[in-house]
Amino acid sequence: MPAPAFAETDRVSLHPIEEADYEFVREYRNHPDVRIPLTDSRIRTVEDVAESVEDADYRFLVCASDENGDRVRVGEVAFAYVAREGERGALMYWIAPEHRGNGYVTEATELFLDYAFRECGFHKVTARVLESNEASAATLEKLGFVREGTRRESSVVDGEYEDMYTYGLLDREWLDR
């Protein structure tokens, strides 16, 4: 059972990541369907997860209601890094493959962006997406992110270089929607 919810809707909730969640995070961060779109080639241990959680202030477990109304772990939403506290954060999210296609990442990211902009006072949130990851690009655009550029051949996927799109969302764009 995840820790108490930090923020929630009827369908999804954000929770602080605790030790009982480390194995879930490790399993899916190592899953190729999660790791490759995140451009994260490093295989993680439970100890790696524990260390990364300790160093992260803006990192949440995403849970969704199952058929019994219980909250189950489905993914993560976070700032991969923060440039100057309260100024700019780089968004990262993933949903376990068996839970994709339900709109969880969109709802969870909305909760996260509300927190980042309204409570923490961030000015800008950025994101990077592989050119082949059309679903993630569509999610960002649905949330109001603007494609700001292309990082040409900046990632390697299956031994081939692939372009990556950069996106940005300003506080006023989020708060005025």
| pLDDT value of residue 86 | 73
Answer whether residue 49 shows pLDDT above 80.
yes
Taken as a whole, the chain contains a residue count of: 177
Which one is predicted more confidently, 40 or 119?
119
Give the Cα separation of 118 and 77 in Å (integer). 17
pTM: 0.91
Residue 1 scores a pLDDT above 70: no
Structure-block tokens of residue 84: 């100057």
- What percent of the chain is modeled with pLDDT above 90? 67
- Residue 31 in this model has a pLDDT that exceeds 80: yes
The answer to whether the beta carbons of residues 41 and 65 sit under 8 Å apart is: no
The answer to whether residue 91 scores a pLDDT higher than 70 is yes
pLDDT in tens, 99-121: 999 999 999 999 999 999 999 99
Query: Percent of the chain scored above 70 by pLDDT?
Result: 99
Report the b/e string of 111-120 with b at 16+ CB within 10 A.
bbbebbbeee
Pick the more confident residue, 67 or 41: 67
Domain range annotation of the chain:
7-175
According to CATH, the topology of domain 7-175 is Aminopeptidase (3.40.630)
Kindly state the average pLDDT of the residues 87-100. Answer: 94
Q: At what angle do helices 22-29 and 46-54 cross, to 10 degrees?
A: 110
Contacts of 16 (CB under 8 A, 6+ apart): 3, 6, 60, 61
Tell me the mean pLDDT in the region 121-136. Answer: 94
pLDDT at 20: 93
CB 125 within 8 A of CB 168: yes
More confident site: 104 or 33: 104
Q: Is the pLDDT of residue 161 over 70?
A: yes
Tokens of 166: 């950069």
Query: Which residues on adjacent β-strands are paired with residue 168?
Result: 126, 146
DSSP bridge pairs for 75: 62, 95
Strands (E) in the chain, as ranges, are 7-8, 12-16, 59-65, 71-83, 88-95, 124-130, 146-157, 160-170
Separation in Å, CA 68 to CA 61, 64, 72, 157: 20, 11, 10, 39
